[in-house]
Amino acid sequence: MLTSGDSGIADDDEAPSLDQGMLLGLMGRELRVTYLAVFRRVEDQLEKVGITPQQFALLVVVERNPGARQTLLAKARGLDKSTLVPMIDRLERDGLLERRPLANDRRVRAIWITERGKQILDAAIPVVRESDDLVRGSLTESERAQLLKLMEKIRIGIEDSAASARGNDAAA
Amino acid sequence: MLTSGDSGIADDDEAPSLDQGMLLGLMGRELRVTYLAVFRRVEDQLEKVGITPQQFALLVVVERNPGARQTLLAKARGLDKSTLVPMIDRLERDGLLERRPLANDRRVRAIWITERGKQILDAAIPVVRESDDLVRGSLTESERAQLLKLMEKIRIGIEDSAASARGNDAAA
DNA sequence: TATTGTTATACTCTATAACTATA
DNA sequence: TATAGTTATAGAGTATAACAATA
């Protein structure tokens, strides 16, 4: 259920909202709408600190894994290594991360967080926590646990279906 | 819980997965991961029919609202009117939608679904339903109702916080 | 040969601002 | 003046393929 009307979009005036048909009943749509609401909220809040949610996530992983190589970071973030390059370029240019050569293996350019990066991260963490607590605060403790459980069940269902599809492919 | 290891990314070999730090506990991250899993599944399945999830959603709305004008369609889809133009261009080029002038108001180009568009939509609907049923099938009936309720609570929580933030801005 | 990081390139999704033709 | 649609443009975000340096 959304704020008003039946469209899900702010229907300012008397604009006749359109019929959304079968879209309304879909679980996927509910997940999308909810995820986007949460994501945009974090995005907005993080703007104050000057980073994006993706940059935040990368900073967290780099801080926890000092000197990690880019290939691993990409994997950890679920991105292609080529996608990480401009992200790190940007954060390096802004002075939050640093590329440093490795003595043993001169192909590697290990990634380190800078002092500035740590400061930004320290400023960002409470912001992210605050947004996440807003989500948590909308639920009781048991509801929160329930939600996590249900989302996990959904993911497992999808993984299993993908796995059996692969099985069929292999058998075919 | 994910397939193996602790990274959430397929860790093929013996690659040491990185520490994800505080990212792991975040509700937002769980929502994102779950939403993306569902979205990618629908996206993959819809590929067989030759349309994207966004195109599907637009086709549904157009079919349910024959001859709607682009401004309203954009609103219904939560997009800027300029964003809709290339989407409709593409679907018109592929023969799924049609722009037709309106007699009363010659600025308007009403959007209609074509026979071909209806056929594609008819082929797409069971595909989308199948994916959505996969999600539903991972849950019991009461879990499904519970999940919808919890997601709604989250959205309301975010809306309320946005509303009070606006209130504060106005007061400031 | 294989791996690390990079570049070149392209494609999707999205928006803002300015424009055209109507109204 | 206001609205409907379009164009021009820009910016994320993402990927694939090819490449140089190094292992």
**Cβ neighbours of residue A128 under 8 Å, at least 6 residues apart?**
A42, A45, A46, A56, B22, B26, B28
Convert the pLDDT of each residue in B13-48 to its tens digit.
445 689 999 999 899 999 999 999 999 999 999 999
Q: Do A153 and B162 touch (CB under 8 A)?
A: no
What is the pLDDT at residue B14? Answer: 47
All residues of chain A having their beta carbon less than 8 Å from the beta carbon of residue B7 are: 75-76
Please report the sign of the dihedral spanned by the C-alpha atoms of residue B54, residue A82, residue A36, residue B33: positive
Q: Which residue is nearest to nucleotide C20 (CA to C1')?
A: B107
Token pair belonging to B120 = 């594609």
Residue range B46-73: mean pLDDT, rounded:
96
Q: Residue holding tokens 């007699």?
A: B103
What is the pLDDT at residue A17? Answer: 87
pLDDT in tens, chain A (172 residues): 323 333 333 333 445 689 999 999 899 999 999 999 999 999 999 999 999 999 999 999 999 999 999 999 999 999 999 999 999 999 999 999 999 999 999 999 999 999 999 999 999 999 999 999 999 999 999 999 999 999 999 999 998 988 887 776 554 4
Please give the DSSP secondary-structure letter assigned to residue A68. Answer: B
Specify the higher pLDDT residue, B91 or A169.
Answer: B91
Alpha carbons B57 and B96: distance in angstroms, whole number? 13
Asked if the model's pLDDT at residue B11 lies above 70, the reply is no
Token pair belonging to B91 = 């679907």
- Is the entire prediction scored with pTM above 0.75? yes
What is the pLDDT at residue A96? Answer: 96
What is the pLDDT at residue B4? Answer: 33
Residues engaging strand D (CB under 7 angstroms)? A 52, 54, 78-80, 82-83, 86, 104-107; B 69-72, 81-82, 85, 88-89, 99, 105, 107-110
The region of weakest confidence among A4-8, A144-148, B51-55, B165-169 is A4-8
Taking the C1' atom of every nucleotide in all shown strands and the CA of A103, the nearest one is D22
Mean pLDDT over each residue of chain B, to the nearest integer? 88
Alpha carbons B100 and B127: distance in angstroms, whole number? 29
What is the pLDDT at residue B25? Answer: 86
Q: Within a 10 A sphere around the Cβ of A59, how many other Cβ atoms?
A: 22
Alpha carbons B121 and B130: distance in angstroms, whole number? 14
Q: A12 at the B interface (CB within 8 A)?
A: no
Nearest Cα to B141, choosing from B152, B130, B133? B133
All residues of chain B having their beta carbon less than 8 Å from the beta carbon of residue A26 are: 128, 132
Query: Residue-wise over A87-121: b if at least 16 C-beta within 10 A, else e?
Result: bbeebeeeebbbeeeeeeeeebebbebbeebeebb
Half-sphere exposure of A108 (CA within 13 A, CB side): 14
Q: Which residue is nearest to nucleotide D21 (CA to C1')?
A: A107
Contact B148, A30 (CB under 8 A): yes
Asked if the model's pLDDT at residue B149 lies above 60, the reply is yes
Of B9, B128, B151, nearest to A78 by CB-CB distance is: B9
What is the pLDDT at residue A25? Answer: 86
- Please, which pLDDT band fits residue B168 given cuts at 50, 70 and 90? low
- Report the residue of B13, B35, B40 to disrupt the A interface, i.e. the one with the largest count of A CBs within 10 Å: B35
- Please, which pLDDT band fits residue B169 given cuts at 50, 70 and 90? low
Pairing of strands B97-101, A97-101: unpaired
Token pair belonging to A26 = 């879909």
Contact B90, B105 (CB under 8 A): no
